[in-house]
Structures are given as C-alpha cells and as structure tokens.
Amino acid sequence: DAKTTQPPSMDCAEGRAANLPCNHSTISGNEYVYWYRQIHSQGPQYIIHGLKNNETNEMASLIITEDRKSSTLILPHATLRDTAVYYCIVRGTGATNKLIFGTGTLLAVQP
C-alpha cells in the first residue's frame, strides 16, 4: 500500500504557482520523498526527490516539513502542459525498495 495521502484533484490558474500537498506521517528516517507526474497517455516522468532539505530543480521545488511528515511540491509558474496526475512516493534506498504509486493528485491548469 502507498504510504502517502494526496488530495484527488486540484485546480490552478495558468501562470500561477501550483502547490501540491502530500502527507507521509509514517515516513522512516532513511526514506526519501519522490515526486513523479503522468501526463495523459504517457508514462510517468520523474520530477524531484528529497530527504529532509528543501530541493529545487528546473521543474519544481520540494518543501519538506521539519518533522518530515508532510511535503509540498511547488510548480512556480504553471502552464497548460503541467496538467497531469502527480504522484508523491516514499521510498527507501535498498535495492528492492520499489516505487509504490498511489492514485495521485490530478492537477488541472486552467487558462
């Protein structure tokens, strides 16, 4: 079972920041938080990951709370092409630790 809880859907206006929350209250000390997204009819795409520090790359920023029980993915300037299902996944670093996808959040960017 997925170890994360996400809202099933969210809306965002084009050009505005999209903030996608994720709850992972049972996360262990050596588990990372990953974000993937899946645009309609495509395979999932990696976005970002983090352990306890905030992370930023060319796609997004990841803010993890100090107690690590929740995180927020931020798309700073959402475009229509960001409309997708966003998956928040908790994963350990062992060789057999798998990506366990939940049902994610469907982000709809509105023009």
Partner 1 sequence: EAGVAQSPRYKIIEKRQSVAFWCNPISGHATLYWYQQILGQGPKLLIQFQNNGVVDDSQLPKDRFSAERLKGVDSTLKIQPAKLEDSAVYLCASSKGQVTYEQYFGPGTRLTVT
* Contact between 99 and partner 1 per CB under 8 A: yes
- Specify whether the CB–CB gap between 99 and 2 falls below 8 A: no
Long-range contacts of 55-63 (CB under 8 A, 24+ apart): 60/35, 62/33, 62/35
Position among 14, 49, 59, 61 found at the interface with partner 1 (CB under 8 A): 49
Q: State the number of binding residues for partner 1 (CB under 8 A).
A: 23
43 binds partner 1 (CB under 8 A): yes
Which spans of this chain sit near partner 1 (rule: CB under 8 A)?
A: 2, 32, 34, 41-46, 49, 87, 93-104
